Amino acid sequence: MPAIHRRPRWAISENQATPETVFENRRAILKGLGLGAGALAGIPLLPSYATAEAARDAAALTADLYPAERNERYEVDRELTPEDISGTYNNFYEFGSHKQIARAAQSLVTHPWDIEIDGMVEAPMRIAFEDLVRRVSLEERLYRHRCVEAWSMTVPWTGFPLSALVALAKPSASARYIRFETFNEPKMASGQKQVWYPWPYVEGVTMEEAANDLAFMVTGVYGKPLAKQFGAPVRLALPWKYGFKSIKSIRRVSFTDKRPTSFWEQIAGNEYGFWANVNPEVPHPRWSQAEERILHTGESVPTQLYNGYAEEVAGLYADLTGETLFR
Ligand code: MTE
């Protein structure tokens, strides 16, 4: 995201990026891999050090669960973003502070992948991803995804409601927030060698937000297990908030009575806050949020309050008027 100024000199700013550059970059990646357009998503690109054990990754262990049935309640009035575009234009700072991290992200080892559930819960537990995913019921939902950088896409996520994870965790009545944490393995993810970032990536929601039907734990996309660049094996999707709240590759879920300070809040709290709800009328300190650029068409369209989900979520914030809800 644009808060960090130590970007390499060749990196263009997000505001300058055009659909043409997106296409060019995608072509360059595919060419570099010796692949044609559209080929990226299905092909496992194992790093040279990968062992047979690592090849038994989360996607292979759970492939039988896809495609999951679509829940028609979560429709969108926009065309889906083609997979080869959403899968080659990603924010995943653990693998680089630019959008073309798809190749580098293939070094993410997703097996074994244990998720720690701790803090204010009946009994802390550690659960293997492939066990967790079989204890819930998966469904597909079409969601909008609006980055704080003012681009957007529409994605067919597969996953399960965050409320199902809360039910499994059995938090105590005094828990007020959930804190999510990603892995911290600089050997595997070279972006984490950049010491000026406060690794690991952390995000948080209130218990009320977690109980909202829209809060979704994502394990798949485009009818398949989540490709690594999307945050395999499990990430969050909070479609009414700016995309940075949707933390990727979750390793730890903690229930707490203290409001977590998120990764971007630590870096630039005046630009990226805890709530980060989408609102076209509240500009980012350095740019307008009135419009958004649809990633695969380049078209600019008006941004909607709560990213089009006001009916479902506005009630969550009715009593929080003193809070900075839209940054
Ligand atoms: N999660 C982790 N662990 N690391 C990241 O850098 N980037 C965030 C979010 N989750 C990020 C992350 C941002 S800024 C956005 S917009 C979305 O992931 C991007 O998701 P996508 O690449 O699937 O579009």
Segment 270-288 shows an average pLDDT of 97
pLDDT at 325: 97
pLDDT at 321: 85
Task: Indicate the pLDDT class of residue 240, thresholds 50, 70 and 90.
Answer: very high
pLDDT at 143: 98
C-alpha 63 to ligand 1 mean position (Å): 23
Place of tokens 């409001």: 259
**Atom 5 in ligand 1: residue holding the nearest Cα:** 92
In degrees, rounded to 5, the angle at the alpha carbon of residue 65 between the alpha carbons of residues 64 and 71 is: 150
Residue 180 has pLDDT above 90, yes or no: yes
Task: Indicate the pLDDT class of residue 29, thresholds 50, 70 and 90.
Answer: very low
**Atom 3 in ligand 1: residue holding the nearest Cα:** 248
pLDDT at 43: 40
For residue 233, cis peptide bond before it (omega within 30 degrees of 0): yes
Verify whether ligand 1 is closer than 6 Å to residue 201 (CB atom).
Answer: yes
- What tens digit of pLDDT does each residue of 140-165 get? 999 999 999 999 999 999 999 999 99
C-alpha 201 to ligand 1 mean position (Å): 10
Residue 131 has pLDDT above 80, yes or no: yes
| Exposed/middle/buried for residue 170 (C-beta within 10 Å: 0-12, 13-18, 19+) | middle
**CATH architecture classification, 14-317:** Alpha-Beta Complex (3.90)
| Residue partners of 289: CB distance under 8 A and separation at least 6 | 148, 150, 278, 279, 280, 281, 282, 283, 303
Positive or negative: CA dihedral 271, 232, 300, 305: negative
pLDDT at 73: 97
186 CB neighbour count, 10 Å cutoff:
13
Verify whether ligand 1 is closer than 6 Å to residue 155 (CB atom).
Answer: no
Residue 121 has pLDDT above 90, yes or no: yes
Atom of ligand 1 nearest to the CA of 243: 16
Which amino acid is located at 179 in the chain?
A: R
**Ramachandran region, residue 298 (left: φ > 0; alpha: ψ -120 to 50; beta: rest):** left
Please, are residues 220 and 327 in contact by the beta-carbon 8 Å criterion? Answer: no
**Atom 23 in ligand 1: residue holding the nearest Cα:** 230
Please, are residues 98 and 104 in contact by the beta-carbon 8 Å criterion? Answer: no
